Amino acid sequence: FLGFVYQNLGVLESQRGNFKSSGQDYARAIRLNPKLAAAYYNRGNDELKLKQYRKAIRDFDKALKLYPTDVWAVNNRGLAFCHVGKPSEDKEDFAKATGLDPTFTQAGENLRRTDCDRLLLGSSKRLRVRSATRLADLKQFFCHDWRLVFSFLHVPLTTSR
């Protein structure tokens, strides 16, 4: 019972932005109840916010061992994989989350976005758009919301003469 209490305290601290305190609460919850998937999941979310992607992946892995059908944990682990540059793993997680719950649109959006990212960036090279017509072609071909993709990736669009 006490594990659930600390897990909930961790959620409250996280909502306040007190990630150090929330991490301590999640650690206490896990010590008291090592099978509390929510504590691993929530700590992973905090680590994702703090850009501690490898730690987040470990916690999402632990949460998924305990609760393998948690679509949010699968999706968020995919986001962490994306940030550490593991394209096959992130795509696999987004596809798995979509398969677990076809109505979970966020995973489908992430899956489509990663496909667009890879097509646009190739091997992490900057995209050069040679003309406004080319940009319109990219916009129409790749993604319905191309501005979101480019702003999400911080890809500089340049035009050349």
Please give the pLDDT value at position 93: 95
Please give the pLDDT value at position 12: 94
Please give the pLDDT value at position 118: 58
Rg value, the chain, Cα? 19
Q: Give the tens place of pLDDT for each residue, 91-140.
A: 999 999 999 999 999 888 888 887 656 544 443 433 343 334 444 444 44
Q: Say if residues 94 and 75 touch (Cβ distance below 8 Å).
A: yes
Angle between helices 19-32 and 37-49 (to 10 degrees): 160
Q: Give the tens place of pLDDT for each residue, 62-101.
A: 999 999 999 999 999 999 998 888 888 989 999 999 999 9
- The residue with tokens 């999402």 is 60
